[in-house]
Structure 1
Amino acid sequence: MSTLASAGVLAQGVAPVAEPPAASGWKLETVADGLPQPWGMAWLADGRLLVTGKKGTLHLVDGKRVENIAVEGLPALFTEGQGGLLDIAVHPRDKGPNPRIYMTMASGTSDANRTVLVQGVFDGKRVHGIKTLFTASPSKSGGQHFGSRIVFLKDGTLLMSIGDGGNPPQRVGDMLARDQAQNVGSHNGAILRLTDSGRPAPGNPLAGQQGALPELWSIGHRNIQGIAADPQSGRVWASEHGPRGGDEINVIEGGKNYGWPLQSYGLDYKTREPVGKQVVPGMVQPIVVWTPSTGASGLAWYTGQAFPAWRGSLFSGGLATEDIRRVAFDAQGRVVKQERLAIGKRVRDVRQGPDGQLYALTDEAKGSLLRIVPD
C-alpha cells in the first residue's frame, strides 16, 4: 500500500497489478448503438443523456432512441490523433429547461493546438450561445495528450485535466512536452480548478507560488482520462495513462505534485528505459498501478443500490484491456480488492447514471452505450 511522502516519512512504492480476477454476478445490456466515436456523457435533470462524439457531434439518448443535436458556434475543432470534442458536464444547479452545458475540446491546428473549455445552453433541440471559458497555455503541436475530463465539486467549482502535450521527441518551447508537467508556468500536465465561468477558483493552493498560473490545482500528471468525485466525502480520484505500463489511479489533493515525469512506473516507448524513478520524496504515490497499461479511461464512483457489495468502489474503463476495473476500499480509504469486468470492446467512459446504474461507452466508429446490471 502506498503512503504519501512527508517530512521524516519514507514514501513506499506501489506493487503494480497485471490482471485482477474476474468479477461475478453482472451482465451487460445494450442501451443504444451507432454512436459515432463517443467520448463523454452527462445526464440532464430529466434523465436523458447527452453524449459527445469525438469528431464534433452531440447526441441525445432518450431510452433507446438516439437524436443528433446541433452544436452551434464551436471554436475551430482539432480532430487529429487524440484530439476532438471530448468531455461533457451539465451544470449541477441547472435542473430546469435550458441548462448550461460544459464541454472540453482540442482546438487549433496541427502546428498550434490546445485544450479548451466551452459553455453553451441546451434548449432541448440544440446547444447554442457557445463561448470559450478557458484556453490552456502554452499551445503545442501534434495530436497527443489533451486530457481531458471535467467534474464539478461540491463548492460549485470544477476540476479540468490537461494532458502534458505528448511523448518524446515532442517538444513545447525549449523543453520536452512531458516536462511541462513540472512547469508551474504551464497548464499542461496539470489539473485545474476553475469557477463555473472559467476563472481561477479562489483559494487555489499554487496561486501564491512565484511564476505559477492561478488555475493550477495539482501538477505532475501525464494524461488524465478519468476523474470522479465522491458526492458525500468530496474525495476526488483520477485515472492516468502511464507510458509503456504504469497506468495509475491517484487520490487528488490540491497543491500536490504527482510526479510525472520524475516519478513513474512506466517505460519510455522508444528506449524501454524507466521514465524517472518509482519513488521520489515529496511526490504523491498512486494508490493503484496497472502494468501492462489498461489504457485507463472514464472513472466512476459507485453509490447505487443494484450492487450493494460494489458501493464505495471506483470503476475505471480500459481502452487497451477492453474491460472495466473495480477498485474496492476499506473504511480508511485503503485499496483492499480489485476485480475485472471483461467488456470485449474498448471502454472510453464509465459513469453512474441518475438511476444508480453503471453505464459505459465503447470507443468505436459506431460505439455503444452499455448498462451493467445484476445477472
Structure 2
Amino acid sequence: MKLQFYFTVIFSLTSILTRSQELSQLNVEDIYKNLCASCHTSSAIGGSLKDGKWKYGGSDEEILHSIKNGITEKGMVAYSSVLTDEQIRAIVVYIREMESTDSVESTELDISDKVLETRYHTFKVETLTSGFRTPWSIAFLPDGSKLITERLGPIHLISSDNRLDSIPIKNTPKVIFDGPEGGMMDIALHPDYEKNGWIYLAFADGWRDEMGKSWSQTAIVRGRIRDHQWIDQEWIYKSDLKFYMQSGAHYGTRIAFDDGYIYFVIGERGVMGHAQDLNRPNGKIFRLHDDGSIPKDNPFIETPEIPKGIWSYGHRNPQGLTIDSNHNVYATEHGAQGGDEFNLIQKGKNYGWPIITHGINYNGQPITSITEKEGMEQPLVHWTPSIAPCGLTQYIGSLFPNWQNDFFVGSLRAQELHRLRVINKKVVDQEIILKGIGRIRDVRTGPDGYIYLLTDEPARLIRLVPSEKKGE
C-alpha cells in the first residue's frame, strides 16, 4: 500500500513538472487535483481533507507545515522543492474553503417557527416585511418607521407596523449599478436627527460615457425627506473625478458616527495595489466632520497629495462598520477566497491588503505567502473558509441582557449570524447563533432592543425575538 502511495505521488510530481505551462502559472485547483486529490479522498490512504478531521494538526500553520515538509513516517513527501510558499499557502486556503461547501449549500430559509437555543439566549426569528428586490441597508426613524435602501436606487419607507409603502422616496441621487456591486448602499441618520433631520447616503456615483461604459466611485451625501421627497441635498464626500473607475467591484462602504465625526469606507475597487497607495481614496476608511469638513487631527493632514480624510488604509472591501461606547472603531472586511476579517480600526494604521492576507485569488492563484508583517495590523478574527461578512452592530439593547456589548456579524456566503465578545480589544468568545436564513446584508440593533437583519436572498426584513421557553 505504501509503495502504491509513493508511486502515485511520484507520478503526480512528474506530471505536473513536465507540463508545458510553467508551474507558477497553475492555479490552486490544478495543483490540488494533480498533487493531492488522488491520495486524499475518504477511501484513499491519506483520508479526506474535507471533513475537518486532522491527525497531524488542523491549524493553518500545521497544515502548511505538513505540506511543505511532508510526513515521512506516513509516506507523504515534502513539497517545498516543488511548490512555492505562495502556492502552499493557497492549498491551505483551498482546503479550508472545501470544508465549508456542504454546510453552505444545505441551509434552510424558513426557520420562522423554530425556537433557537444559543449559549446565552433563546429566541425566535420573526419576518416583518418583504417585497423589495435587492435591499442593502436599514435605518430607524423616531416614529417607529424605517427606511431601506435598494441596490438599484430606490429608498423604501416601512411603516411602524411594518407595511411596505408602495411608493419609493422620490428624487434620490442617481446611482451606478452594473452589477455585481455598487448602486445605492448604506443609509444612516445623523445622531441628532430629531433636531436637524439629516439622513446620510453612501452610493456609487458616476456617469456613462458615449460608449455606454460607466465610470463610478463611492460617494456620500446628506439630505432630508419631506412628503416622500429627497430634498436639501449636500455633498459630504466626492472624490476627484480622476479617481472614478470603470470597475464595478469593491465599493465597500458603511457609515458610522461618533462625537461629531462621520466614518465611512471606500473599497479598493478591485485593484489590489490601490489599497496601499495613499495618494488614492481606494481601500481606505475615512473620517470627516459630519458636515464633510476635514478634522485637523487626521493622520495625514500635513502630507501633500494624500487625501486628507483618510483615517486608515490597506483595506480590501469592508462592508461592516460600527463604533462602541469607548469610541473604538470596528470593521468587518471581505477577504478574497478566505481571509475575511474583523478589525479594530486605529488612526493612521495599515491593515495590510494585499501584502498580507489569509486568502487567495478567486482564480486559484496565490496572492502572497505571508500573513503578517511588521507595521501592518493583524485582524482580531479572520475567517477561512470565507463567510463573506456584511453588516456589523454592537448590541446595546435590553431584550437580550446576556449579549450586552457583544458584536453581531452578518454573512452573505455562509448565511450565518456570528456573535463576537470583545474584552480589552481582544475577541474572547465566538458563536454562530443563526444559520440558514439567506444572505445577511445588514445587521442592526433597533431602538426597541431587537436585533434586525436585512437579507437579500430572499429579500426580507426579519428580527430576533426573545423566547422564554426552550423547545416550545
Give the distance between the partners of 2:367 and 2:428, measured in 1 at CA: 27
Give the distance between the partners of 2:337 and 2:175, measured in 1 at CA: 32
Q: Does 1:200 align with 2:294?
A: yes
Please state whether the residue corresponding to 1:225 is helix, strand or coil.
strand
Aligned partner (choices 181, 191, 202) of residue 92 of structure 1: 191
Q: Does 1:165 align with 2:269?
A: yes
- The answer to whether the Cα contact below 8 Å between 2:214 and 2:246 also exists between their aligned partners in 1 is yes
Calculate the TM-score normalised by the size of structure 1.
0.87
Shift of 1:201: 2.6
Q: Relative contact order, CA 8 A, sep 6+: which one is greater? A: 1
Partner of 2:217: 114
Partner of 2:118: 23
**Total equivalences in the alignment:** 345
- The answer to whether the Cα contact below 8 Å between 1:300 and 1:352 also exists between their aligned partners in 2 is yes
Aligned partner (choices 344, 348, 351) of residue 441 of structure 2: 348
2:428 is aligned with what amino acid? V
Bigger strand share: 1
Shift of 1:234: 1.3
Partner of 1:10: none
Give the distance between the partners of 2:292 and 2:133, measured in 1 at CA: 29
1:106 is aligned with what amino acid? A
Aligned partner (choices 347, 355, 359) of residue 266 of structure 1: 359
Shift of 1:73: 4.9
- The answer to whether the Cα contact below 8 Å between 1:38 and 1:348 also exists between their aligned partners in 2 is yes
Partner of 1:41: 138
Aligned partner (choices 281, 285, 289) of residue 382 of structure 2: 289
- The answer to whether the Cα contact below 8 Å between 2:395 and 2:445 also exists between their aligned partners in 1 is yes
Cα separation, partners in 2 of 1:111 and 1:60, compared to 1, 3 Å: closer
Q: Does 1:336 align with 2:433?
A: no
2:220 is aligned with what amino acid? L
Shift of 1:111: 4.3
Which residues in structure 2 correspond to 1:104-143 (within 5 Å)? 104-108=202-206, 109=208, 110-137=213-240, 138-143=243-248
Cα separation, partners in 2 of 1:28 and 1:73, compared to 1, 3 Å: closer
Give the distance between the partners of 1:369 and 1:53, measured in 2 at CA: 12
Shift of 1:35: 2.4
- The answer to whether the Cα contact below 8 Å between 2:224 and 2:233 also exists between their aligned partners in 1 is yes
Partner of 1:226: 320
- The answer to whether the Cα contact below 8 Å between 1:302 and 1:310 also exists between their aligned partners in 2 is yes
Cα separation, partners in 2 of 1:276 and 1:85, compared to 1, 3 Å: farther
Unaligned runs of 5+ in 1: 1-15, 167-176
Give the distance between the partners of 1:73 and 1:301, measured in 2 at CA: 29
Partner of 1:8: none
- The answer to whether the Cα contact below 8 Å between 1:71 and 1:128 also exists between their aligned partners in 2 is no
- Larger Cα Rg: Structure 1 or Structure 2? 2
Give the distance between the partners of 2:214 and 2:194, measured in 1 at CA: 40
Calculate the TM-score normalised by the size of structure 2.
0.69
Please state whether the residue corresponding to 1:69 is helix, strand or coil.
coil
- The answer to whether the Cα contact below 8 Å between 1:206 and 1:255 also exists between their aligned partners in 2 is yes
- The answer to whether the Cα contact below 8 Å between 2:150 and 2:185 also exists between their aligned partners in 1 is yes
Bigger helix share: 2
Q: RMSD of aligned C-alpha atoms? A: 2.2
Deviations 1:205-244 (A, max 9, x none): 12223432101000000001000111x2111110000000
Unaligned runs of 5+ in 2: 1-95, 104-116, 468-472
Give the distance between the partners of 1:148 and 1:30, measured in 2 at CA: 26
Give the distance between the partners of 2:137 and 2:227, measured in 1 at CA: 19
- The answer to whether the Cα contact below 8 Å between 2:145 and 2:162 also exists between their aligned partners in 1 is no
Shift of 1:253: 1.0
Deviations 1:30-77 (A, max 9, x none): 111112211011112223211101100111122221113323151453
- The answer to whether the Cα contact below 8 Å between 2:254 and 2:265 also exists between their aligned partners in 1 is yes
Aligned partner (choices 363, 372, 387) of residue 279 of structure 1: 372
Give the distance between the partners of 1:202 and 1:308, measured in 2 at CA: 39
Give the distance between the partners of 2:369 and 2:164, measured in 1 at CA: 46
Identity %: 37
Deviations 1:98-120 (A, max 9, x none): 71111011122444211111111
Give the distance between the partners of 1:85 and 1:94, measured in 2 at CA: 21
- The answer to whether the Cα contact below 8 Å between 2:441 and 2:456 also exists between their aligned partners in 1 is yes
Deviations 1:136-189 (A, max 9, x none): 351111210001111111x211001000011xxxxxxxxxx1111111111100
Aligned partner (choices 148, 152, 162) of residue 55 of structure 1: 152
